[in-house]
Amino acid sequence: MESLSDTLWDVVICGTGLQQSLLALSLSRSGKNILHIDPNEYYGGPDAAFSLQEAEAWVDRLADPSTANRGFRSASVTRPEGSTGLSFPRAYSIALSPQLIHSRSKLLSQLVSSRAYRQVEFLAVGSFFVFNPAPGPDQKPSLARIPSTREDIGFDTTIPLKGKRSLMKFLKFVQDYQSEASTEIWKPYADSPLTDFLQKHFKIDAQLQTYIIALTLSLDGKITTQDGLAILFRHLTSMGLFGLGFAAVYPKWGGISEIAQVACRAGAVGGAVYMLGTGIKTHESMGDELQLHLSNGETVKAKKLVRSSDSVGEPGISRLVAIVGSTLNGQFEALVEGAPQPAVSVIAFPSGSLHTSAGKVSEYPVHMTAHSSDTGECPVGQSILYLTTVATANSKELLKNALDAFLEAMDEDPRPQTLFELYYEQTKGAGESTKDGAIFNLPGPSLSPCFDDAVLDPVQEAWKEVLGEVDTEYMTFTDREGVTDEDEMYD
């Protein structure tokens, strides 16, 4: 077998997050020879999925300044006292950056055209809920399901007739928002908050505004009219695309992590060589080549290097993952006959709906996705909850309070038990890709609860950068499988 240092690699890719993995897939299948390495011992980088043991080891590494990873910080694991019922560590697959993928996302069409999709199992994302705090001291908080189709709105019993009419009018508008006539209407509001537009143009009341903002999954809840309409349009046009009653999907066994691994496998099928636990210590330019000194002591030569940008270290979001000993009945119901059973639901805690023990009200929304055991991320009989909010001085407490309030709202007796909690903060990455001679730096990961197609653009840009002007269609490949014609009979 050829040694690594004897080869002049077309591209060395460092990191196995989604972007790098898709790039490895596209380049290796376009005939380039690729060495794909990752300083971590696992695939996925910021998109990885961990067993409990791996999660605890990760937390320990983050606490150690010599192995700390600049993308994450302040991680801790809690196993609530007296809680029982946690299964063996490998029965869990905790996604570090779980994201929903809208059915109309370019990611799905690229996975299909590159033929990588068949190794991924996709599950339906079902209902979106809005959290309502307890109205009085002796009352319980509750969840209201957001109606997101016109039929849904028609059947909803909680929205007054006038609200229904304005909501229907707005949804109709969204579906046509790119037309010239509609653009003229929203353009003046483009950069102002979507709530202003809803209020002024559609006379939609504050309660219904929270529903619409919840559907956008906007991290700070202050999404602009222009961005909000784009996301709502994607949501509405995704509805029903792959089946009844759902607008988004989630990859089984840990979300994006699974796609990254499958893309790497496809890269390997195309000839890419894989090494984990190996990073780049230093590099230097030698004429047209790069010399890369790897952490395992080897030196390799490459024409190009693609890696991720250093995290800028600014506070980004706080995340809390909780494993609970309940199936959370009611969270994963198919709402239309013939629809697939959803494995994921979304719960939005609007700005102002939570408060700290000192009485400070939440400035930003908290988003939670509830995953059933169908995701393969926890054993049967349990569920896994992923909560995120903008990182602030109080975000950890607010996430805990959101978790408590949600379990309270479940109205189960006894109250579902938390078996394991993982808290961490994820910092913001660079916003754009950069080029430095033969080195291409991909931007940081998106922190949104739903997959952002913009993440795919720098990957295609890097692909073009390596291939130059070519006449090949991006990410379009034929099957690589061998089918034998004759049947075998064994009796």
Partner 1 sequence: MASDDDLPTIKVLLIGPSGAGKSALLTRYCDDEFDPESSAATIGIDFKIKRLVVRGKAYRLTLFDTAGQERFRTLSTSFYRGAHGVILVYDISSRASFLTMERWFDEAEANTAEGVALYLVGSKLDKAETGREVSSEEGQALAEAHGARFCEASAKTRANVRDVFVNVVDQVVQTPGLLSGRTRRAPGTVAVGSDEGGYGSGCSC
CB of 303 to partner 1, least distance (A): 20
Q: Under the criterion CB under 8 A, does residue 487 sit at the interface with partner 1?
A: yes
β-strand partners of 371? 344, 384
Record the tokens describing residue 165, joined without a space: 């009419």
CA distance 218 to 365: 8
CB of 334 to partner 1, least distance (A): 9
Q: What amino acid is encoded at 21 in this protein? A: S
Would you give the end-to-end CA distance of the chain in angstroms? 41
CB of 31 to partner 1, least distance (A): 12
Q: Which is nearer to partner 1, 132 or 372 (CB)?
A: 372
Whether 148 and 346 have beta carbons less than 8 Å apart is answered as no
CA distance 23 to 306: 9
Interactions with partner 1, residue window 65-84 (CB under 8 A): none
Q: Under the criterion CB under 8 A, does residue 480 sit at the interface with partner 1?
A: yes
Q: Which is nearer to partner 1, 202 or 242 (CB)?
A: 242
Q: Under the criterion CB under 8 A, does residue 337 sit at the interface with partner 1?
A: no
Q: Under the criterion CB under 8 A, does residue 271 sit at the interface with partner 1?
A: yes
Q: Under the criterion CB under 8 A, does residue 118 sit at the interface with partner 1?
A: yes
Q: Under the criterion CB under 8 A, does residue 484 sit at the interface with partner 1?
A: yes
Per CB under 8 A, the segment of 148-156, 224-232, 247-255, 422-430 that binds partner 1 is 247-255
CB of 246 to partner 1, least distance (A): 8
Q: What angle do CA 462, 69, 259 make, to 5 degrees?
A: 50
Whether 89 and 53 have beta carbons less than 8 Å apart is answered as yes
Selected binder of partner 1 within 186, 189, 246, 440 (CB under 8 A): 246
Give the DSSP H/E element, type plus range, for residue 435. strand 434-436
CB of 115 to partner 1, least distance (A): 8
CA distance 476 to 167: 40
CA distance 43 to 47: 8
Nearest partner of 353 among 342, 362, 341, 343, judged by Cα? 362
Q: Which is nearer to partner 1, 144 or 269 (CB)?
A: 269
CB of 290 to partner 1, least distance (A): 21
Whether 250 and 34 have beta carbons less than 8 Å apart is answered as no
Instruction: Kindly list the residues in this chain that would bind partner 1 in the complex (CB under 8 A).
Output: 1, 43, 90, 103, 108, 111-112, 115, 117-124, 240-244, 246, 249, 252-253, 258, 261-262, 264-266, 268-271, 273-276, 340-341, 343, 374, 479-484, 487-491
